[in-house]
Amino acid sequence: MKHSLRFLTLAVVVLSAGTATAQTARTGRLMREKLQHSQRILQAVTTSDWALLQRETQALTDVTKNPTWAELMKAQLRPYADEFQKALADLSAAAAHRDYDESGRSYLALTGACLSCHKHVMNSRIANTK
Ligand code: HEC
């Protein structure tokens, strides 16, 4: 029993290492940057730090202009990428207007776009397993 548990843990570690290397280091770094900026956006929204909100929204917008991002945005991901960009434009406007409610709504729309795009990527991977 103990032995098979240990084997299972090892299998999980090996499998997750496999998926991590399927991504290039460059893509991984860009994606983690995306996560950090969105975490700081939450910080800015919840504390009404409009300068930080404007800065981090711009930084996240810059990620979407990176060639690595453009390469990843295949046709089927583009609607999600558009939704993501619209949420970023709304966040920037909310920061300019110092609008707490609007920044909150736009933050939720942004997070919704993260989740719906990731769900699409996950589902298409499952469908593509050879
Ligand atoms: C339009 C599509 C899309 C949107 C929107 C999106 N992502 Fe991603 N994300 C991807 C793709 C594609 C990958 C790469 C998956 C892979 O190659 O394994 C990824 C990977 C990641 C990773 C994994 C990085 C790693 O090291 O494994 C993180 C973290 C991440 N995204 C965070 C976010 C956050 C946070 C948001 C929203 C602020 C977001 N993503 C929005 C498409 C998207």
Domain boundaries, the chain: 27-128
**Ligand 1 midpoint to CA 31 (Å):** 5
56, two tokens: 């981090």
CATH, domain 27-128, list 3.90.1150.10, 3.30.70.2740, 1.20.120.290, 3.40.50.2000? 1.20.120.290
Q: Closest ligand 1 atom, CA of 38?
A: 38
Cα 119 to the center of its chain, rounded Å:
11
Ligand 1 pocket residue status of 113, Cβ below 6 Å:
yes
> Is residue 44 lining ligand 1, measured as CB closer than 6 Å?
no
Q: Is 117 in the pocket of ligand 1 (CB under 6 A)?
A: yes
- pLDDT, tens digit, 9 for 90 and up, residues 76-122: 999 999 999 999 999 999 999 999 999 999 999 999 999 999 999 99
> Does 31 sit in the ligand 1 pocket, CB within 6 Å?
yes
pTM across the whole model: 0.82
CA dihedral 19→20→24→27, nearest 10 degrees, is 110
